Structure 1
């Protein structure tokens, strides 16, 4: 699934199951760049807040 892996690259990822959905957040880059930004990526992910999308009414439901 997706593109072929690139040599000399690294990825950090977060997958969050929310109801029937899966939210993914990824950071991809050179190993040096990903290592340098790792803590900021983790802090960013910790700061995210998700809502249960099944309880949000769509405009069509009103």
Structure 2
């Protein structure tokens, strides 16, 4: 679900100990989107090409 992450590690030598901090690239970010005012659209060269307002911001 959106609050938990599962992973499979096939290599026993690279097990992750409980409490170890790891970096995870999220594949689903709906809960995070409403925390920001805008999306900044960047092209493949790193140039800002557009700004999109987040319509869901502050909708309580």
Greater C-alpha Rg: 2
Higher helix share: 1
TM class by shorter chain equals under 0.3
User: Normalising by structure 1, what TM-score?
Assistant: 0.25
Higher strand share: 1
User: Normalising by structure 2, what TM-score?
Assistant: 0.25
